[in-house]
Amino acid sequence: MTSTSPPSVDSPDLAALAGLLADRTRAAMCLALLDGRAWTATELARHTGVAPSTATGHLHRLVAGGLLAEERQGRHRYVRLAGPATAEMIESLASHAPLRATPVRSLRDAHRRRALAHARSCYDHLAGTVAVAITDAMTERALLAWDYGPGLTPAGRAWLRALGIADDHSGTGRAHVRSCLDWTERRHHLAGAVGAALLTHALDSGWAARRGTTRVIDLSDRGRVALREHLGLPDEVLLPPEDGG
């Protein structure tokens, strides 16, 4: 009798994924791409402080590993995170990673870091102190339920409609409501299609604005009034850190 080997079974290669992020330059690239934009290799090389050829090599590995997607416009090549699920995985991993001390070179740099912790984009949804406070307030008002993971209640759906936010996200290929572990707060904020819709509404309605090309999100006076009115958020959460202490 001839023996036959058992059929191979595919299993997740977690070590390969970890290897992609084990390099500090590749990890820094993924964190930068959490702003949701498409970057060129030159921009990422400048951001991470490596030569363009080195950046290109790292990007090839990240694209081949499925973490990044490549886009081309004419002669220009851009990369972005592969999708919302990838962004949420990167943010969640960052929340579990030990904090590494980095030098603060100027007062402006210190303000930027505090602003990033206060409110920032996490791919297509809001993260930071304000995002966690919004999630907490929605839970306290029974707009969110956590019985089987986060989910909108009937009151939550009505609340979204009252704000003018469409709640029909069928066919988008993504979770309706998800939680994302915030790397600065070490607590969950709202993600998924509803989290993205809330950030889009805040930007479109003038409640908030992006700060240049950074991930920082600045609340406007109108936005602070709206979040006080609709969710009861206190000033110590809503005011920017340089003004709020």
Q: What is the pLDDT of residues 152-161, one digit of tens each?
A: 999 999 999 9
Res 107: pLDDT: 63
- Under 8 Å between Cβ of 37 and 43: no
Range in 14-28, 102-116, 222-236 with the lowest mean pLDDT? 102-116
Q: For position 88, what pLDDT does the model report?
A: 82
Which pair of structure tokens corresponds to residue 80?
């972005």
C-alpha–C-alpha distance, residues 175 and 167, integer Å = 12
Given this structure, which CATH class describes domain 15-82?
mainly alpha
Q: Are 80 and 69 in contact (CB under 8 A)?
A: yes
CA distances from 18 to 87, 119, 166 (A): 15, 28, 37
Task: Please report, rounded to a whole number, the percentage of residues in the chain having pLDDT higher than 70.
Answer: 87
Looking at residue 130, its pLDDT comes to 97
Average pLDDT over residues 184-200: 91
Q: Among residues 27, 12, 10, which one has the least CA distance to residue 61?
A: 27
Contact 227, 233 (CB under 8 A): yes
Mean pLDDT score across all residues of the chain: 88
Residue range(s) of every CATH 1.10.10.10 domain in the chain:
15-82
Q: Among all chains, which residue has been given the structure tokens 């994302």?
A: 180
Left (φ > 0), alpha (ψ -120 to 50) or beta: where does 76 sit? beta
Sequence-ordered list of residues with C-beta below 8 angstroms from that of 103, at least 6 positions apart, any chain: none
Q: Is the pLDDT of residue 164 over 60?
A: yes
pTM of the predicted model as reported, rounded to 2 decimal places: 0.78
Identify the residue with better confidence: 229 or 98: 229
Please give the pLDDT value at position 245: 42
* Per-residue model confidence (pLDDT) at position 244: 44
Taking the C-alpha atoms of residue 151 and residue 172, their distance in angstroms, rounded to an integer, is 17
